[in-house]
């Protein structure tokens, strides 16, 4: 965990996620970089990769050069994916099946991320809500574009 001091509710959320990762054999990393690399040649702001027979799981979020609002939403989003995996949520298990399932998963996960933050008394500011809404719009636009092909 970064050495920077955060407000108590943020610290509580980070510590909760770290504890849940420990329980589920998932490595937890907050990195100082602007982006993280998935190991498949892709970069993004954060990702969750479940554990399997060969590898420990990984929840990794880039926090460098971002506002706390930006990375805390990403952390909540990836944490929501980890919970979906652990709970064997059908929408998580089916997302490999087709693009519609993937986009449905991402939209649901973004909504769950906001609920998670609220549960830790992390205020959903107008700016944070706009960032979340923008991500959902981008996901919908990608789906529409992919169906045109």
**Which helix (H) or strand (E) element contains residue 30?**
strand 26-31
pLDDT tens for each residue of 8-42: 999 999 999 999 999 999 999 999 999 999 878 88
Environment class of 15 (CB within 10 Å of its CB; exposed 0-12, middle 13-18, buried 19+): exposed
Backbone angles phi, psi at 37, to 5 degrees: -110, 135
Residues 21 and 31 sit within 8 Å (Cβ to Cβ): no
Backbone angles phi, psi at 38, to 5 degrees: -80, -10
Name the pTM for this structure.
Answer: 0.91
Can you read off the two tokens belonging to residue 62? Answer: 């880039």
């Amino acid at each position: 965990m970064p050495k920077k001091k955060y407000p108590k509710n943020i610290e509580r959320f980070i510590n909760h996620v770290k504890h849940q990762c420990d329980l589920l054999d998932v490595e937890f990393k907050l990195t100082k970089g602007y982006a993280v690399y998935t190991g498949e040649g892709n970069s993004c702001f954060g990702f969750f990769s479940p554990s399997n027979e060969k590898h420990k799981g990984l929840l990794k979020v880039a926090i460098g050069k971002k506002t706390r609002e930006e990375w805390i939403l990403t952390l909540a989003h990836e944490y929501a994916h980890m919970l979906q995996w652990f709970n064997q949520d059908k929408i998580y298990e089916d997302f490999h099946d087709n693009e519609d399932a993937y986009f449905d998963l991402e939209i649901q996960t973004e909504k769950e991320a906001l609920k998670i933050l609220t549960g830790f008394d992390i205020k959903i500011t107008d700016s944070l809500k706009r960032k979340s809404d923008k991500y959902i719009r981008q996901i919908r636009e990608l789906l529409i574009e992919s169906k045109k092909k």
